[in-house]
């Protein structure tokens, strides 16, 4: 069975078998008697293939703000460190002169021979009897970088020419008096 293609041109319909023009209200072709039936309208044109959209990728975060914050923090840390160093050195420079007062007190029942070494250099040798005290003030560089013993006071006790004991006090263990002089107090006990 053949289907007539109806194409409306004005008020005419064409036969799908023989192509004859027929009035629009005709049910059969006037030439071949082919039934003229309505053909459903042609389907809508197929959509053209379009690629799938790429997956969603969130926009990159702007790290400029984070970088700026880190730079500001580093600059602040450096500035505070420089200021703290300046304050420390300014205070040290304000000392009238750098001195250390060494006090050695004997709480032993024998007489002993002692030496005082400051920043690696022997500055005094003396004898101390039972219950006696010795005190003297010496030049002292708290920021010394010479020798192996930096910024420290050592009291060495001898017995018959041999070292009996050594007492050491570095700058962190010393105190300061009102004039800014360092104080190193040693107490010799058995």
At 75-101, the pLDDT tens digits run 999 999 998 887 777 665 555 568 889
pLDDT (0 to 100) of residue 93: 54
Residue 128 to residue 71: CA distance in whole angstroms: 60
Q: Do 103 and 184 belong together in one domain?
A: yes
| Weakly modelled stretches of the chain, pLDDT under 70 | 1-10, 38-46, 90-97, 144-150
Residue 190 to residue 171: CA distance in whole angstroms: 25
Residue 128 to residue 108: CA distance in whole angstroms: 10
Any idea what DSSP says for residue 77? H
Q: Do 37 and 103 belong together in one domain?
A: no
pLDDT (0 to 100) of residue 135: 94
Looking at the domain assignment, is residue 31 inside a domain?
yes
Q: How many CA atoms lie within 13 A of 148 on its CB side?
A: 0
Looking at the domain assignment, is residue 17 inside a domain?
yes
**Boundaries of domain holding 28:** 1-42
Looking at the domain assignment, is residue 61 inside a domain?
no
CA angle at 139 for the pair 134 and 143, rounded to the nearest 5°: 120
Q: Do 184 and 103 belong together in one domain?
A: yes
pLDDT (0 to 100) of residue 59: 75
Q: Do 36 and 105 belong together in one domain?
A: no
pLDDT (0 to 100) of residue 6: 47
Looking at the domain assignment, is residue 59 inside a domain?
no
pTM of the model: 0.48
pLDDT (0 to 100) of residue 58: 78
Residue 130 sits in a domain whose CATH number is: 2.60.40
Looking at the domain assignment, is residue 10 inside a domain?
yes
pLDDT (0 to 100) of residue 178: 80
Place of tokens 């702007």: 62
Looking at the domain assignment, is residue 122 inside a domain?
yes
Q: Show the tokens assigned to 138.
A: 């010496």
Q: Looking at the 3D structure of the chain, how many domains does it have?
A: 2
Looking at the domain assignment, is residue 120 inside a domain?
yes
Looking at the domain assignment, is residue 91 inside a domain?
no
């Amino acid at each position: 069975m053949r289907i007539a293609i109806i194409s409306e041109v004005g008020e005419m319909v064409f036969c799908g078998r023989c192509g004859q023009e027929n009035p629009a209200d005709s049910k059969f072709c006037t030439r071949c008697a082919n039934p003229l039936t309505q053909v459903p309208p042609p389907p809508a044109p197929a959509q053209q293939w379009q690629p799938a959209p790429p997956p969603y990728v969130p926009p990159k975060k702007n790290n400029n703000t984070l970088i700026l914050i880190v730079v500001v923090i580093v600059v602040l840390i450096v500035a505070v460190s420089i200021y703290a160093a300046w304050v420390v050195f300014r205070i040290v420079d304000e000392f009238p002169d750098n001195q250390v007062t060494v006090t050695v007190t004997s709480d032993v029942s024998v007489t002993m021979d002692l030496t005082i070494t400051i920043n690696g250099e022997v500055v005094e040798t003396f004898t101390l009897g039972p219950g006696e005290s010795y005190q003297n003030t010496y030049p002292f560089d708290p920021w010394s970088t010479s020798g192996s013993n930096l910024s420290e006071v050592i009291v060495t006790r001898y017995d018959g020419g041999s070292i009996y004991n050594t007492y050491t006090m570095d700058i962190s263990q010393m105190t300061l008096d009102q004039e800014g002089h360092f104080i190193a107090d040693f107490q010799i006990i058995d």
